[in-house]
Chains A and B, each alone.
Chain A
Amino acid sequence: MQTTTTPLLRLAGVVKRYPTVTALGGVRLEVAEGEIHAVLGENGAGKSTLMKTIYGVVQPDAGAIEWRGAPVSIADPVAARGLGIAMVFQHFALFESLTVAENIALALPGRFGASLGLSELAARIVEVSRRYGLPVNPWRSVHELSVGERQRAEIVRCLLQSPRLLIMDEPTSVLTPQAVEQLFDTLRALAREGTAILYVSHKLDEIRRLCDRATILRGGHNAGEVDPRAESEAHLAELMIGRSFPRTLRRAHARGAPGLQVSELSLPPDGPFGVALHSVSLSVHRGEVLGIAGISGNGQAEFLAAVSGERRVSPNEICLGETPVGHLDAGARRGLGLAYVPEERLGRGAVPDMSLAENSLLTASRKGMVRAGLVDWSAAEAYAARCIREFDVRAGGPRAVARSLSGGNLQKFIVGREIAEQPGVMVLAQPTWGVDVAATALIRQRILDLAAAGVAVLVVSEDLGEILEVCDRVAVMAGGRLSTVREVGETHAAEIGAWMAGGFLR
């Protein structure tokens, strides 16, 4: 694997301080040509800052960067791309109002943007997306795309640049098992051609299958450099979080009466690129977790809008218990015991510029926070403080602004806020997407606890591992249709993966 003694990229003693926190406290990293190198760590360990340093988004306060043995300073992403470094971001850097092709043209100055027409570029996009199994329609506007589709567009954008070093920040969280295998084949092929790959993830099994070396970060420092293929998952996890790995605990719970029933729900698409729903039916019982697996953009957004009440349908298509609620708005359904954790955290699940107390009031106003039309702010702050305490939210307190929280901490707060409403039915969309290991374990444990307490829980997730870990029964959504519902014990990842690709439709 090591073709040269000089590494492609070498970082030594890299320090980055922010006003309140030291993100990197002297980190070293070496990546050789043709190597698939994992960077492991929890959120806040400094992975993202380190990657941004390499990509020129962040300027280090101290430390040296060498590219092919020569010291360089990477002033901005344009300079990074000039060296041959490409990056797939965890939080996507796409322009909402432009199409996929236009976005990609913007990232490829000169070569495509000017000399090559958009339709030629689109053809290239389709070709690359076919080759790497990343279906993307180049003519769709980004704002119409689901989270998963946006990530695919990002990956394709990077591959089009034929990079020397490809940085991938948790690229597989939205792919089917088959597509993950296909991506891994692609990455291995790229590595054989000499491309180095920096693979940022906390999925230990993937890293052990894919990567040649792993640099482990903890609290902004190197916590070890190992050959992941030779280590156990438990040992890697311990290196990563500094203590033994939390395991979710499944308590026995009995399946009760239906809590949420969806009957023959059909919807026309809500936009030119929306997905129509075709007679979707399911019944979530009290005391069970039902999972809907599937790749984003297959009707999940439309289905969730109908279930949550953001989009109204005819009364009998959605029932809470035995009460028809299809015609009610989201607020009225909350009054009947529905709670919902949406996929988008900032801007939907929480108002970015409002405090956590104000964001408690957003959905939990019925919990004694409003008297005679006036807000009892002390009650709202107490509610927020309780969510912060019980869900271990790292925040400056109830008055901290939602925007100031990291993704994982904001998600813990939102899940906590919805659970504290003591709902009868809980719907969660992508509950742990982009959330670190410890927070993921906490959220999944609370999902299981909810079911054990007799709540009907519906989880919509692209993460098949998550579905298999927390759900009692599972169905797959593809092309706006829902598969039959299976007991998790009676199915396996390969079957669900085939269904996610639309296999049950034929």
Chain B
Amino acid sequence: MLWSSPLIAVALTFALGAAVFAAMGQPPLAALHALFVSPLTDMNGVAELLLKASPLCLIALGLAVGFRSNIWNIGAEGQMYIGAVFATGLAIHFQARWGGWMLPAMILAGIAGGLAWAAIVAALRAHLHASEILVSLMLTYVAALIVKYLVFGPWQDPAANNFPFTVSFEDNALFSPLMNYVAALEGTRLNTSLLLTLAAIPLTWVFMKLSFTGFQLRVAGDAPAAARYAGHSEKRAIWIALLISGAAAGLAGVTEVAGPIGQLNDRWTPGYGFTAIIVAALGRLHPVGIAVAALLMALLYIGGETAQVALQLPRAISYVFQGLLLMALLACEVLVHFRVQWTATTRSSQAA
């Protein structure tokens, strides 16, 4: 029952979505087809799906580690920004000189950026008992403003006619396209960063299931009193959970700016860091579940674009679906654990 609740939630979302389309005067089945089936009819659509699912999956894997230990990092979006900023800083200043070492250095810098941004949250939570939910969320807005400052100010491309973006990265600062290695992917934007995500899925599983630290995090989440009783350090759990999710988000930032975007600008993410929260929940915090959920959410993004073109629907339709999905998921969670009892009926049956 616990495992079926995400499936019920997805079914419920489709049903509610069909109702929304009907209310908008669209034939529901055709609209759903446009949203969820037609994007997948060619290789390019599949590649775009994977391209969007990859950062979602990466961030959600990191978040899930924290969520399992009851650490609610809501600010992956901001950690992703700072990861991208660190990597971009290296790229625009050193790419002419560092040759083949450029991309590995950017990956490390991006991870370091995510770590640094999450470390602020960890320090405030572990040592001052500040709520990590609020702190991480507020830091996201700070991070967004830092990005804005940089791309409107010191890092702006002089040749950009005052548009807010940096110079485009050279090839040594970009993940190489997968079509260079796989002929079937000719013409797609998929790149080698997908391999990082594919590696992260089993690694996360191993960490949570087989490592002692992962076990300690699960205990901290399931039964904090038992963690104290066993002598597991609470502060260490907070630091590890936040640093892992920060590192994953920072890495996802690099895969975007050094991937399909190829530069830093002020509106390069469709909210991956926030959507990943839904992905982690929908995947029941399990690595495989998260991979599947990331594909589903990516499909929503792409389907939204298709629907915009094919049905003249506003692009916000994908956010409507995200919201419906999250709501259905939360409702199913509650209803799996609790039974609704109509008190008025109980009273009257009592009297009878």
CA distance A459 to B104 in the complex (A): 59
Q: State whether A353 touches B222 (Cβ < 8 A).
A: yes
Let me know if B199 is at the binding interface, CB within 8 A: no
Q: State whether B215 touches A375 (Cβ < 8 A).
A: yes
Q: State whether A330 touches B210 (Cβ < 8 A).
A: no
Q: State whether A373 touches B211 (Cβ < 8 A).
A: yes
Could you say which residues of chain A place their CB within 8 Å of the CB of B131? Answer: none
Q: State whether B231 touches A348 (Cβ < 8 A).
A: no
> B298: shortest Cβ distance to chain A, in Å?
31
Could you say which residues of chain B place their CB within 8 Å of the CB of A347? Answer: 223, 225-226
CA distance A401 to B215 in the complex (A): 15
Total interface residues on A, using CB and 8 Å? Answer: 35
Could you say which residues of chain A place their CB within 8 Å of the CB of B218? Answer: 354
CA distance A308 to B228 in the complex (A): 10
CA distance A124 to B231 in the complex (A): 43
Q: State whether B350 touches A79 (Cβ < 8 A).
A: yes
CA distance A358 to B229 in the complex (A): 15
Let me know if A331 is at the binding interface, CB within 8 A: yes
Known pairs A82-B350, A348-B223, A375-B210; A361 contacts B229 (CB<8 A): no
Which of A88-96, A148-156, A206-214, A332-340 lies at the interface with chain B? A332-340
Residue of A331, A358, A361 touching B231 (CB-CB under 8 A): A331
Let me know if B219 is at the binding interface, CB within 8 A: yes
CA distance A310 to B233 in the complex (A): 10
Known pairs A329-B233, A354-B219; A365 contacts B212 (CB<8 A): yes
Q: State whether A354 touches B222 (Cβ < 8 A).
A: yes
Let me know if A349 is at the binding interface, CB within 8 A: yes
CA distance A377 to B206 in the complex (A): 13
Let me know if B213 is at the binding interface, CB within 8 A: yes
Let me know if B195 is at the binding interface, CB within 8 A: no
Known pairs A82-B350, A362-B219, A365-B212; A344 contacts B225 (CB<8 A): yes
- Name the residue among B211, B213, B218, B223 with the largest chain A CB count within 10 angstroms: B223
Q: Is the interface of A mostly helix, strand, loop or mixed?
A: mixed
Residue of A76, A332, A350, A370 touching B212 (CB-CB under 8 A): A370
A78 to chain B: closest residue by CB: B350
| A window 313-362: CB within 8 A of B | 329-334, 340, 342, 344, 347-354, 358, 361-362
Let me know if A309 is at the binding interface, CB within 8 A: yes
Q: State whether A310 touches B219 (Cβ < 8 A).
A: no
Q: State whether A330 touches B212 (Cβ < 8 A).
A: no
Could you say which residues of chain A place their CB within 8 Å of the CB of B128? Answer: none
> A415: shortest Cβ distance to chain B, in Å?
14
CA distance A308 to B229 in the complex (A): 8
B221 to chain A: closest residue by CB: A351
CA distance A367 to B219 in the complex (A): 18
Let me know if B232 is at the binding interface, CB within 8 A: yes
Known pairs A78-B350, A365-B212, A370-B212; A332 contacts B231 (CB<8 A): yes
B210 to chain A: closest residue by CB: A374
Question: Residue-by-residue, is A284-295 near B (CB-CB < 8 Å gives 1, otherwise 0)?
Answer: 000000000000
Give me the 7 closest cross-chain CB pairs, A-B, nearest first: A331-B231, A330-B231, A348-B225, A351-B223, A370-B212, A362-B230, A351-B226
Q: Known contacts A348-B225, A354-B218; can you find 17 more A-B pairs with CB under 8 A? A: A330-B229, A330-B231, A332-B231, A334-B231, A344-B225, A350-B226, A351-B219, A351-B222, A351-B226, A353-B222, A354-B219, A362-B226, A362-B229, A373-B213, A374-B210, A375-B210, A375-B212
Binding site for A on B (CB under 8 A): 210-213, 215, 218-219, 222-223, 225-226, 228-233, 346, 349-350
Binding site for B on A (CB under 8 A): 75-76, 78-79, 82, 308-310, 329-334, 340, 342, 344, 347-354, 358, 361-363, 365, 370, 373-375, 377
